[in-house]
Amino acid sequence: MESLASSGAPRPHVVLVASPGAGHLIPMAELARRLVAQHDLAATLVTFATDTHSAVLSSLRAADVATAELPAVALDDLPANASIETVLLEQIGRSVPRLRALLRYIGSTAPLAALVPDFFGTVTLPLAAELGVPGYVFYPSNLTVLALMRSTVELHDGGADAGEYRDLPDPLHLPGRVSLRRAYLPDVFRNSKELVYAHIIDEGRRYRAADGFLVNTFYEIEPGNVEELKQVAEQGTFPPAYPVGPFVRSSSNEDGASACLDWLDRQPTGSVVYVSFGSAGTLSVEQTAELATGLEHSGHRFLWVVRVPSRDGEHFDMGETRGDEDDPLAWLPKGFLERTSCRGLAVPSWAPQVRVLSHPATAAFVSHCGWNSTLESVAAGVPIVAWPLYAEQKLNALVLSENVGVALRPCARADGSIAPEEIAAAVRELMEGEKGRALRRRVVDLQQAAARAWAPEGSSRRALEEVAGRWKAAAVVGKDK
């Protein structure tokens, strides 16, 4: 059959909306790339003026994915202590008129096939209904988080006190045999009196208006949740969720070579512990020093991406510009770099993570358990020492250690910090112990399953093919009208 592209007709056009943050933008960029390269669709990825990940956007333009930036909106009426989630939700909501105009412009040049906001952008879904196109939600996290949102809304909207904001039960039982104590809930779910709690519940209520969800996961890593959500979709109580991941950026789409890769080339195979807390994770001054001590006492080689410590108790930093006086390495304990120079490397702020994880020398990953980093680690066959910091990371750490079996959780103090001796013990166990060997076998199995998911007949590839086929059919029908 002749494709739309080869016939000269404009290809059906999918518009994707990524809320600010690397963890949202990077997997959505990979989704857009695949829609264009493998599914005969055109795509525009919409971002916001505050999102500055130029390297990601440049790589998209080279892959024939269009990009568009919505201008900044006024947010100065928000409280000074507004949570990052509240800021994101308000920013997206106030940008709806500009997005409507953009969608109408794109629709005047090609048949619109679908609108796909990410999980913070469901306020835009009425635009899909307004324009007569499918509206799907992209979930850059996993099905467990989606199940948490669904269960939370059901708890609030059922019974005599329907619609009231109330605390979740402790523990909260989720599909996939996840029993979630309050300590492992994402911060925004812990206190029903906080403004952001109401925002998140409202966001979850809007999920019901979606035609479906595209989730950055694959069957073998969450089989229980896949089956549970398939059943509720068949019952008509929740939109269908399609596991279409893992979306892991190619190493060719990262920034250029780094000195840390040259250092890794000189290390023995399977000897290095990689330490990184993502693009926004920060430790306190005290915890940075304790991590240094733990790595030193572990006796193992390490590559540590060091960020400037937090001085206000927060573990989340979007990366504001800092002066030269904030050299991350200057915050390490006195003499640490000299004492560990023969077996360790500390690099400031950034490393090409996909290349590092896939390097033969890398054997373990001390990680914040952000879902992008988790999938990158699984795709490379590298087990994890789980050190969650914010958002849904504690939930991820619980699932990865107790359900999936690819992560080791060191014992933490009541405030979530980890003592140096626990850090050292966790590293040694993962590198030398029987539990570490079991985790390594399991993660290699999942590595192979992740590769199969996107093989020509893989489950994720077929799921996205099914959705893309529906979009193209809807675009043709819409055009005929």
pLDDT tens digits along 411-441: 999 888 999 999 999 999 999 999 999 999 9
pLDDT exceeds 50 at position 341: yes
Among 56-70, 255-269, 339-353, the range with the most confident prediction by mean pLDDT is: 339-353
- What pLDDT was estimated at residue 471? 96
Residue listed under structure tokens 């690099």: 347
Q: 1 falls in which pLDDT band (50, 70, 90)?
A: very low
pLDDT tens digits along 397-407: 999 999 999 99
pLDDT exceeds 90 at position 26: yes
Q: What is the mean pLDDT of the chain?
A: 91
Q: Residues 98, 69: contact at Cβ < 8 Å?
A: no
pLDDT exceeds 50 at position 24: yes
The span from the CA of 281 to the CA of 77, in Å, is 27
pLDDT exceeds 50 at position 236: yes
DSSP one-letter code for 433: S
pLDDT exceeds 70 at position 322: no
pLDDT tens digits along 148-160: 999 999 988 875 4
Among 92-106, 255-269, 301-315, the range with the most confident prediction by mean pLDDT is: 92-106
Say which range, 71-80, 88-97, 176-185, 449-458, has the weakest mean pLDDT: 176-185
Q: Which fold has domain 4-245+454-480?
A: Rossmann fold (3.40.50)
- Helices (H) and strands (E) in the chain — how many of each? 18, 15
CATH number of 257-451: 3.40.50.2000
The span from the CA of 87 to the CA of 83, in Å, is 6
- What pLDDT was estimated at residue 252? 65
- Is pLDDT larger for residue 372 or for residue 161? 372
pLDDT exceeds 80 at position 285: yes
pLDDT tens digits along 434-459: 999 999 999 999 999 999 999 999 99
- What pLDDT was estimated at residue 4? 42
Q: Residues 198, 9: contact at Cβ < 8 Å?
A: no
Q: 59 falls in which pLDDT band (50, 70, 90)?
A: confident
- What pLDDT was estimated at residue 162? 58
Percent of the chain with pLDDT over 90: 78
- What pLDDT was estimated at residue 324? 42
- What pLDDT was estimated at residue 321? 39
The span from the CA of 370 to the CA of 367, in Å, is 8
Q: Which residues are marked as active site?
A: 24, 118
- What pLDDT was estimated at residue 5? 42
Give the torsion through C-alpha atoms of 249, 250, 254, 256, to 10 deg: 170
pTM score of the predicted model: 0.94
Q: 320 falls in which pLDDT band (50, 70, 90)?
A: very low
- What pLDDT was estimated at residue 6? 43
Q: Residue 278, class by beta-carbon neighbours within 10 Å (0-12 exposed, 13-18 middle, 19+ buried)?
A: buried
The span from the CA of 26 to the CA of 176, in Å, is 27
| Mean pLDDT value across residues 285-313 | 95
Percent of the chain with pLDDT over 70: 93
- Is pLDDT larger for residue 344 or for residue 199? 344
Residue listed under structure tokens 């099914």: 466
| Mean pLDDT value across residues 84-110 | 95
Contacts of 202 (CB under 8 A, 6+ apart): none
- What pLDDT was estimated at residue 323? 43
Residue listed under structure tokens 């006492």: 297
Domain ranges of the chain: 4-245+454-480, 257-451
The span from the CA of 465 to the CA of 393, in Å, is 30
- Of the candidates 190, 16, 216, 43, the one whose C-alpha atom is nearest the C-alpha of residue 118 is 16
| Mean pLDDT value across residues 256-278 | 93
- What pLDDT was estimated at residue 315? 83
| Mean pLDDT value across residues 464-480 | 84
Q: 311 falls in which pLDDT band (50, 70, 90)?
A: confident
- What pLDDT was estimated at residue 51? 65
